[in-house]
Amino acid sequence: MARPRLLAGGPLPLAVLAGPNPAAAMPLDGLRVVDLSSVFAGPHCARYLADFGADVIKVERPGGDTVRNMGWRDARGETLWWRLVNRNKRCVTLDLKAPDDLSLLRRLLAVADVLVENFRPGKLEALGLVPDELIEANPKLVVVRLTGFGQDGPYRDRPGFATLAEAMSGFASMNGEADGAPLLPPVALTDEIAGLAGAFAAMVALRSGVGQVVDVNLLESMSQAMGPLMTAWHTEGYLQPRLGSGIPYSVPRGTYQASDGRWLAVSSSTDSVAARVMEMIGIGDDERFTSFEGRMAHRAELDEAMADWVSQRTLAEAVEAFDNAQAAAAPVLDMSQLADDPHATSREVFVEVDGLMQQNVIARLSATPGQVRWTGRNEGADNNCLADIGDDADPWPDP
């Protein structure tokens, strides 16, 4: 079946971008976003805006977005990644090499508030969509550009993969066991951070009231998560080594196996918490562990004492002891265990929509909460809406 032809010629009615339920109070109601991005970081950026009511139009190329073919699939054949990162969005298909479709995109951008794209630098311009010209035509437009390394610099043309940022940001060099290889994260960590950074930067730019380009990249987003490590190197020549689950400023800190085979994660970042932990495991009088410097110097001995104490108790017993000591510890959970966790259930950390369990919105607003309204839609699901628009009073139907 041929895809529906889209509206051609003339100004695009503002009703095209109306939200699905104008009566619902959501904080970003009325915000119009065009999402040209693909894979994870850009779609996450637009998804965070959609979760709080922005009307996001996801533009795919003919044949579908790359994410439609990545990873696990649900019962209807869509990938779980697609259903997540493109939830709460409209889906239209445009061939940007076709003049009519490119013209339609221009008209969408002329009445939009935000454009999110993650092409390699220069590709947007090659399509004739020069940001300065788009902003000239629509002075309020915020153009969010997410790339691997930014719009300029020697690496601007390198592929924009999170793995590269995780390797170059310093993360991999200090992640792993002391005698092991550098480790990359087992999830799309940088894409998530960059997506949040993009959504935050978009809102900052919108608050300015001035149409402008927002340059967000994976390397610099991941670098933000490194804390003061660059300062520590610059001032003291310090390079953090691989410490397994440990970190330099919290000892003991790691994962320890209980007698029933399950694992406990422990953190002792402050002196007061560390003192309570030392007392609890029976070494509160050991002068080696009464100061931060002492705990640092005797990390191996303290880790051994902590591991021995946990190994003599079940996970439940260890968690209860930490709770009684008002110290920080938690069970290591997998997804199946987290789904049944009473706190996660009570807080609705995950919600079921369209038969799928997904993360709930990232923040809870007391007066104007966000909502997961629908998951990623079929390719071209909203093309007919564009084709049939003829009356400014006609809103998009609610999916």
Q: What is the DSSP string of 344-390?
A: HHHHTSEEEETTEEEE--SS--SSS-------PPPTTTTHHHHHH--
The string of pLDDT tens digits covering residues 89-116 is: 999 999 999 999 999 999 999 999 999 9
Residue 397: band (very low, low, confident or very high) from pLDDT cuts 50, 70, 90: low
Q: Write the Ramachandran bin of 219: left for phi over 0, alpha for psi from -120 to 50, otherwise beta.
A: alpha
Do both 136 and 274 map to the same domain?
A: no
**Residue range of the domain that includes 294:** 254-332
Residue 290 has pLDDT above 60, yes or no: yes
For 59, the token pair is 């533009």
- Cα→Cα distances 162→12, 107, 266, 322, 331, Å: 36, 32, 29, 37, 29
Do both 32 and 175 map to the same domain?
A: yes
Mean pLDDT, residues 272-286 taken together? 94
Do both 144 and 289 map to the same domain?
A: no
Range picked from 12-26, 281-295, 384-398 for highest mean pLDDT: 281-295
Is residue 19 in a domain? yes
Do both 187 and 325 map to the same domain?
A: no
Residue 393: band (very low, low, confident or very high) from pLDDT cuts 50, 70, 90: very low
pLDDT at residue 344, rounded to an integer = 97
pLDDT at residue 70, rounded to an integer = 94
Residue 267: band (very low, low, confident or very high) from pLDDT cuts 50, 70, 90: very high
Do both 112 and 215 map to the same domain?
A: yes
- 191 labelled catalytic: yes
Q: Which has the higher per-residue pLDDT, 24 or 126?
A: 126
pLDDT at residue 270, rounded to an integer = 87
The string of pLDDT tens digits covering residues 222-247 is: 999 999 999 999 999 999 999 999 99
Q: Tell me how many domains the chain contains.
A: 2
Residue 398: band (very low, low, confident or very high) from pLDDT cuts 50, 70, 90: low
Mean pLDDT, residues 294-304 taken together? 93
Do both 41 and 119 map to the same domain?
A: yes
Residues whose CB falls within 8 Å of the CB of residue 155, separated by 6 or more in sequence, listed in order: 148, 149, 219
Do both 59 and 207 map to the same domain?
A: yes
Residue 383 has pLDDT above 80, yes or no: yes
pLDDT at residue 391, rounded to an integer = 36
Range picked from 193-197, 291-295, 381-385 for highest mean pLDDT: 193-197
Do both 27 and 174 map to the same domain?
A: yes
pLDDT at residue 96, rounded to an integer = 95
Are residues 388 and 4 in contact, defined by beta-carbon separation less than 8 angstroms? no
| Percentage with pLDDT > 70 across the chain | 90
Q: Which of 55, 65, 101, 191 is catalytic?
A: 191
Is residue 217 in a domain? yes
- Cα→Cα distances 137→30, 80, 109, 381, Å: 20, 37, 9, 28
Residue 87 has pLDDT above 50, yes or no: yes
